[in-house]
Amino acid sequence: SSELTQDPAVSVALGQTVRITCQGDSLRSYYASWYQQKPGQAPVLVIYGKNNRPSGIPDRFSGSSSGNTASLTITGAQAEDEADYYCNSRDSSGNSWVFGGGTKLTVL
Amino acid sequence: QVQLQESGPGLVKPSETLSLTCAVSGYSISSGYYWGWIRQPPGKGLEWIGSIYHSGSTYYNPSLKSRVTISVDTSKNQFSLKLSSVTAADTAVYYCARFSSGSYGEDYFDYWGQGTLVTVSS
């Protein structure tokens, strides 16, 4: 079982704001990174560290963290944001990495 | 532009060893970074398998550690995965990726290969 817990599915109306969360004890010590995966494609890094976006990622994607919860926020969700989203961080040992179970985002 | 490309057999028999290679272009492995393997069973989520530094130091998923070996060949600018004693549960798309491990656990996989499906079946 994953040490990082995500809601299996979340939906958002087009143009609205959605927050996808990732919970785990290790998040009190380590940052999470976030990945977007569309069907049949490799994952794409969208957020890492405190709140960093790789080049080419729209600024509607942002990250935050509080206590044992990391969050990915999409402000003004677009149809092309419909995808699976995964968080990743170290486990409680700090010497291994783990992915959350993933959240399927539906844009209505 | 950093590019990664997985290669290897698409079909492996149960109890045998799965072997994959990831060829890196656009960046010299010996210059730094970690390099990792991640897999995704059909219809399921991502699972980190392990990572290797250019110097050869490795980190493995504890649940797979007894069966996994990751190695690096800087002369060919590639790294490899071997997973022994495979079963049907090891059927998955296998991805290779560049991995950055920073201070305060600011870690991330920034470049990924396209993935290769490996099926374990007799």
* Chain A, chain B: beta-carbon pairs less than 8 Å apart: 71
Suggest the residue from B39, B46, B47, B68 to mutate for an interface test with chain A (most A CBs closer than 10 A). Answer: B46
Judge contact between B118 and B96, C-beta under 8 A. Answer: no
- The pLDDT confidence band at residue B102, using thresholds 50, 70 and 90, is confident
Structure confidence at residue B115 (pLDDT): 98
pLDDT at A2: 58
Instruction: Quote the minimal CA–CA distance from B113 to chain A in Å.
Output: 7
Q: B115: which chain A residues are within 8 Å (Cβ-Cβ)?
A: 42
Contacts 24+ apart (CB under 8 A), B97-101: B97/B4, B97/B35, B97/B36, B97/B37, B97/B38, B98/B2, B98/B4, B98/B24, B98/B27, B98/B33, B98/B34, B98/B35, B98/B36, B99/B33, B99/B34, B99/B35, B99/B36, B99/B51, B100/B33, B100/B34, B101/B34, B101/B51
Q: Which residues of chain A, if any, have pLDDT below 50?
A: 1
The residues in A 77-96 lying below 8 A from B, measured between CB atoms, are 86, 88-90, 94-96
Residue A96 pLDDT = 92
Residue that is written with structure tokens 């072997």 in the block: B19
Average pLDDT value for residue range B41-51? 97
Nearest to A86 among B45, B104, B107 (CB): B45
B9-22: average pLDDT: 98
For residue B103, give the DSSP letter: G
The number of beta carbons lying within 10 Å of the beta carbon of residue B102 is: 11
pLDDT class of B58 with cuts at 50, 70, 90: very high
Amino acid B103: pLDDT: 73
What's the whole-number mean pLDDT along residues B104-112? Answer: 90
Mean pLDDT of B92-114: 92
What span, in angstroms and rounded, lies between the C-alpha atoms of B95 and B77? Answer: 17
Residue B65 pLDDT: 96
Residue B55 in this model has a pLDDT that exceeds 90: no
Question: How close is the nearest chain B Cα to the Cα of A33, in Å?
Answer: 6
Q: Which residues, numbered 94 to 113 in chain B, qualify as contacts with chain A under a Cβ-Cβ cut-off of 8 Å?
A: 95, 102, 104-110, 112-113
| B104 SS3 class | helix
Q: What are the C-alpha distances in Å from B17 to residues A22, B7, B52, B57, B112?
A: 34, 15, 19, 22, 23
